[in-house]
Structure 1
């Protein structure tokens, strides 16, 4: 009887110790975002806070969002096991999975999708004297002028290069700088550069700050015509028409016709299924929280969670979506790396 009591007591102490250790040292997961002046970073911070709040107490899991140079840097960190989750542009995901463009026939087959996110809206902002027509081809007026392309390892930089190459804009004739979004905004206001490339979910914090400080008489967001979009879609159908509605930015009195591609939340094939399941479930059970973090996330919904994904889904995400009655197309089902 005494031996049975001692065994029960020891098991109780062991259980309490395990629970205490888990609460003191929760499992930590890192989410890679992008430059602090865009949309990835604030939404990533919001996601990390939400997941930690919801999953720390019951699952002993904590999440941390970190800034980075953007999509291509995030893919590299995932491959090197430096982070557990990452936000990337759809273009970057397509290139990494297929081994094209910057990946030079070296596909990254360990990547897995968790969810489609919001639209990554192209924002090419230039000083008014550059915007002679208001069309994206006005970027040719920047030849010999200072222009911030965005950070070197960012999806923003690569997408800008592709857009310009497709439309016959020779960016090598510009004096290029590789600033983060906030740094670009400051440099534009100070006159150190004549334009900046800051694609993100609208509204973009860096663009808002420039509009507040300079207004429509001094800066302009360039537009894409239907012909421009058609040329781009012939090679990269990932881009779609997007209209930045009037009053999205300070003193913006009319709609701006631009283009956008989708953003993705991705992870690594080796991330445990239960972890990805809980992340996906928590995300979609708390969408109203994301809408309050940034207006660019309003388009996020369970109904379009997998529309347009170009990387197969992680098994944990598949499990959640199937529970919710979503049919998974064959090209998104789990495949071996």
Structure 2
């Protein structure tokens, strides 16, 4: 009888421990020198505070392209990626031809990236065409930055054969510019970003403006692009507005995520957004309106439930 009581007590303790256990979620982001990582870290904190039964952590990755593979293999639960990369993955087009990620779904589009082409002020590079023959970092392998860079370049008649290509992450690109190892670098990231901020404190920089024709060429090549104005004063020494293109960033999950979990994360994202804004100003764009306008693939049913509860009009293209 005493053994039976002891066994029952042990079982009850096990149930209690199990009930109190927190399930860990991983959020695939990018490098530490961009916006994905601090934004993902902020979202992880919000999930731990507001989604019962779950904690989360931001993971450093090679960014958009790699993140789609991680979502497909269900090695992470959430991932941030550029909208053009997400669209290509979902459709099996572009860089994802022959390796479609049909099971990716969106929770939200969270903020726009700006394609920022950075050089030193005394480099002599003032226009996109000036990159010909120069040493240029087009972004880390497997990143959305590289996809964006190729699109902007190729839509304006510049191929990889016309430049000396380096494929560096944000921090490596900033260091290489500072040390004179490259002449220019591409960032596709929500401004302001720490790696450019830090570079601008030690070197005088220039950010290349695209002409109206160059912007139109890029928009014709990539439907998710939109004109973007980087406000003067965003970075030290860059006092005039810079005209470029922007692309939304999408918070994605696998279609297999439980509907209730997807709903709770989406609700937390929008209802606790002020906490994200304190971490990074890019979160000022994290609104229901921006999300429904900018998301390129169908929503997860849990996210769709949240949007419908807000009374927002959900476009048919976002319904499965």
Partner in structure 2 of residue 67 of structure 1 = 60
Matched, 1:135 2:130: no
- Partner of 1:124, secondary structure, is strand
Partner in structure 1 of residue 140 of structure 2 = 151
- Partner of 2:251, secondary structure, is strand
Structure 1 residues 131, 14: closer, same or farther in 2, change over 3 A?
A: farther
Partner in structure 2 of residue 3 of structure 1 = none
Deviation, 1:210, is: 1.1
Deviation, 1:258, is: 1.5
Deviations 1:224-255 (A, max 9, x none): 11111111122212111111112111122221
Which of the numbers 33, 40, 43 marks the counterpart of 1:37?
A: 33
Matched, 1:299 2:285: yes
Distance of 2:107 and 2:124 partners within structure 1? 39
Partner in structure 2 of residue 21 of structure 1 = 18
Matched, 1:258 2:254: no
Distance of 1:130 and 1:170 partners within structure 2? 21
- Partner of 2:285, secondary structure, is coil
Distance of 1:125 and 1:299 partners within structure 2? 24
Which of the numbers 170, 174, 177 marks the counterpart of 1:181?
A: 170
Ranges in structure 2 where 5+ consecutive residues have no aligned partner: none
Deviation, 1:91, is: 0.6
Q: Over aligned residue pairs, what C-alpha RMSD do you find?
A: 2.0
Deviations 1:47-86 (A, max 9, x none): 111111222xxx2211111011010000011111111110
Point out 4+ residue stretches in structure 1 off by more than 6 angstroms.
none
Partner in structure 1 of residue 254 of structure 2 = 268
Does the CA contact (< 8 Å) of 1:68 and 1:74 recur in 2?
A: yes
Deviations 1:158-200 (A, max 9, x none): 1111111110112233222222111111111111111111110
Does the CA contact (< 8 Å) of 1:29 and 1:84 recur in 2?
A: yes
Deviation, 1:129, is: 4.3
When the two structures are superposed, what TM-score results if normalisation uses the length of structure 1? 0.88
Distance of 1:65 and 1:44 partners within structure 2? 5
Partner in structure 2 of residue 93 of structure 1 = 86
Deviations 1:83-120 (A, max 9, x none): 11100001101111111111114432101010011111
- Partner of 2:105, secondary structure, is strand
Partner in structure 2 of residue 283 of structure 1 = 269
Which of the numbers 150, 156, 161 marks the counterpart of 2:150?
A: 161
Does the CA contact (< 8 Å) of 1:284 and 1:301 recur in 2?
A: yes
Does the CA contact (< 8 Å) of 1:128 and 1:220 recur in 2?
A: yes
Partner in structure 1 of residue 42 of structure 2 = 46
- Partner of 2:185, secondary structure, is strand
Distance of 1:19 and 1:320 partners within structure 2? 31
When the two structures are superposed, what TM-score results if normalisation uses the length of structure 2? 0.93
- Partner of 1:123, secondary structure, is strand
Where do 1:193-272 residues align within 5 Å? 193-215=182-204, 219-272=205-258
Distance of 2:25 and 2:184 partners within structure 1? 37
Deviations 1:273-293 (A, max 9, x none): 111011001111111111111
- Partner of 1:327, secondary structure, is coil
Distance of 2:124 and 2:34 partners within structure 1? 23
